[in-house]
Amino acid sequence: MRWVFLLITLLAGTAHSATNEPVIKDFGLFYPVPDSDPIGQDMHFKIAFDVASGAPVGEQNNHINSLARFINMHVAHGVNPKNIALALVVHGDATQDVLKSSEYQARFAADNANASLIRQLLANNTQVYVCGQSAKHNNINAKQLLPGVRMALSAMTAHAQLQQQGYTLNPF
């Protein structure tokens, strides 16, 4: 009887710790690595990603997609999604990739392919900041940004504040 309890406990733990369903739908594809060192569902991540390169007009920004890949990959390998806190700091040409769809359409006559990705990231414990210096340089104000995207004084300021909050910087 004891082995039945152990088997049930192991199966329940496996079902809870990893999932085949991506957290961020339609983005963040990754390769499973079943022989990697275990991470564990109790691991906590607080990571800032810096994105300056914009995507070609109407295309997905693969650097922003890296946040979705990070979330999907780690959840699939056993990390509790509540233990993943990410921040995206956008500046340079990438500022266009966080524009509201209507603003993006008016500027480029194309749909913002990043809008759904940004919405899903925001819904999954990700903060998104745009550099106020880059925004002003590109004639962008806070009302033109996707809902939930916050205007920082600068990318440098956002990174300094995130580091003070315990975020590490993910290198690209």
Q: How far apart are CA 20 and CA 90, in angstroms?
A: 30
**DSSP for 73-124?**
HHHHTT--GGGEEEEEEE-GGGGGGGB-HHHHHHHHSS--TTHHHHHHHHTT
Model pLDDT, residue 4? 33
Model pLDDT, residue 98? 98
Read off the pLDDT of each residue in 35-61 and give the average, rounded to a whole number.
94
Q: How far apart are CA 78 and CA 48, in angstroms?
A: 21
Read off the pLDDT of each residue in 27-48 and give the average, rounded to a whole number.
92
Q: Long-range contacts of range 161-167, CB-CB < 8 Å, 24 or more positions apart?
A: 162/48, 162/87, 162/89, 163/48, 165/46, 166/46, 167/46, 167/47, 167/48, 167/85, 167/87
Q: How many CB atoms lie within 10 A of CB 7?
A: 10
Model pLDDT, residue 8? 31
Model pLDDT, residue 172? 76
What value does the mean pLDDT of the chain take? 90
pLDDT band at 18 (very low <50, low <70, confident <90, very high): low
pLDDT band at 165 (very low <50, low <70, confident <90, very high): very high
Model pLDDT, residue 19? 56
Q: How far apart are CA 122 and CA 62, in angstroms?
A: 17
The values of phi and psi at residue 45, to 5°, are -125, 135
State yes or no: pLDDT of 12 exceeds 50: no
Digit-coded pLDDT (tens) for 68-126: 999 999 999 999 999 999 999 999 999 999 999 999 999 999 999 999 999 999 999 99
Model pLDDT, residue 171? 85
